[in-house]
Amino acid sequence: MFDLNNIIRPNIKALKPYSCARDEFKGEASVFLDANENPYNAPFNRYPDPLQWAVKGRISVIKGVAKESIFLGNGSDEPIDLMYRAFCEPRVDNVVAINPTYGMYEVCADINDIEYRKVELDENFQFSADKLLAKADEHTKVMWLCSPNNPTGNLLASGEIEKLLKAFNGIVVVDEAYIDFAETVSFAKKLAQFPNLVVLQTFSKAWGSAAIRLGMAFASTAIISVLHTSKYPYNVNILTQKQALELLGNANQVSDWVNTLKAERSNLVNELQKLAIVTHIYPTDANFILTKVKDACATYNHLVSRGIIVRNRHSVTLCGNCLRITVGTPEENAILLSELKKL
Ligand SMILES: *Cc1c(COP(=O)(O)O)cnc(C)c1O
């Protein structure tokens, strides 16, 4: 049985959270003399809403997740780091993750001095719940999944994710940074079923807003409360909150971008297939394509010399001679293809 009380670090459980002026007084007022703010330079003189309720209200409608089940952070990087700070005791606890996957899970484990255990994906870039469970012990607090996965581009089998959620007594994180480019439903729809599920999404990819640094975590209200208790009080600034509100009022624009990028993705796959240097193109559910070429480093260097930057993944597990190519505008993709055709 999953029991959140067994997962939270003792110091976090005992924590008396910082109480800011904006927490203490809730309600309508016209004269605010409680937070030592400068009365001039509105609206930037006031501390922002520490729990970002206006932004969460909009996200709640779009994602079909209750406001109280949403955490917002300074990019997904913040909830990733908080999973360690809130749940993993340095030098005692450990986490288990698929390999290869997004690099930040391991970097944050290292920073927090938490053992990071890797389990290699199979040749189709799928994982086995049993293999992850076999790596775990009584100190395993979190398992990291990423679907669609980075850098491989594929969705993980949802049956296997559910099997892990049922069998593992710790937290399972499903990072869905690329979910908008996939033909599937989000695991955020299954929060009621799985008290140990944390789903990550972000404004950095489909929402076209990597610069504003806004990441989302969806989970049970109990898990979200722990993240709220552990975060910096004003972790999402007012410029980001305002820009997010504007964007959330313009969701049609976002789906237009996504549709264009999906069409460009198919086109790019078709064109890459015709090239002699391309030896394999992996199936993708994301806004990038992982492709194996004859000599990844030579191709990468040629592209760099022409001012075109892709990601060389040659040194990554299971990704020998692979390049990860982000789908760009039709013009950018045409420039890439014309350079690749010269090789
Ligand atoms: C790009 C990416 C993110 C986004 O991180 P932010 O901090 O929100 O910009 C998260 N997870 C994965 C797997 C990614 O590839």
- Name which of 288, 317, 281 is nearest 98 in CA terms: 317
Q: Ligand 1 mean position to 179 CA, how many Å?
A: 11
pTM, rounded to two decimals: 0.97
Mean local confidence (pLDDT), 49-73: 98
Is 211's C-beta closer than 6 angstroms to any atom of ligand 1?
no
Mean local confidence (pLDDT), 272-285: 98
User: Does residue 215 surpass a pLDDT of 90?
Assistant: yes
Exposure b/e, 108-132, CB count within 10 A at least 16 = b: bbeebebbbbbbebeeebebbbeeb
User: Does residue 194 surpass a pLDDT of 90?
Assistant: yes
> pLDDT value at position 311?
98
Return mean pLDDT, the chain.
97
> pLDDT value at position 241?
98
Query: How far, in Å, are 19, 25, 26, 241, 261 from residue 39 at the CA level?
Result: 22, 18, 19, 21, 46
- Ligand 1 atom closest to the Cα of residue 203 is 8
Mean local confidence (pLDDT), 249-271: 97
Q: Whose CA is nearest to atom 14 of ligand 1?
A: 177
- Name which of 205, 222, 226, 224 is nearest 214 in CA terms: 205
> pLDDT value at position 21?
77
Mean local confidence (pLDDT), 310-321: 97
User: 175 in helix, strand or coil?
Assistant: strand
Mean local confidence (pLDDT), 193-218: 98
List, for residues 79-97, the tens digit of each pLDDT value. Answer: 999 999 999 999 999 999 9
Mean local confidence (pLDDT), 298-302: 97
Residues 181/257/48/40 CA torsion (nearest 10 deg)? 170
**Which pLDDT band, with edges at 50, 70 and 90, does 318 fall under?**
very high
Q: Ligand 1 mean position to 281 CA, how many Å?
A: 23
List, for residues 95-136, the tens digit of each pLDDT value. Answer: 999 999 999 999 999 999 999 999 999 999 999 999 999 999
Cβ-based neighbour number of residue 47 at 10 Å = 16
List, for residues 160-192, the tens digit of each pLDDT value. Answer: 999 999 999 999 999 999 999 999 999 999 999
Is 76's C-beta closer than 6 angstroms to any atom of ligand 1?
yes
DSSP structure string for 116-152: EEEEE--TTS---HHHHHHH--TTEEEEEEESS-TTT
> pLDDT value at position 187?
98
User: Does residue 23 surpass a pLDDT of 80?
Assistant: no
How far, in Å, CA of 125 to CA of 143, rounded?
17
> pLDDT value at position 19?
81
Q: Ligand 1 mean position to 104 CA, how many Å?
A: 8
Q: Ligand 1 mean position to 288 CA, how many Å?
A: 13
How far, in Å, CA of 198 to CA of 83, rounded?
10
Is 175's C-beta closer than 6 angstroms to any atom of ligand 1?
yes
What is the residue type of 199? V
> pLDDT value at position 161?
98
How far, in Å, CA of 73 to CA of 82, rounded?
10
User: Does residue 38 surpass a pLDDT of 90?
Assistant: yes
User: Does residue 254 surpass a pLDDT of 80?
Assistant: yes
Query: Cβ(93)–Cβ(171) under 8 Å?
Result: no
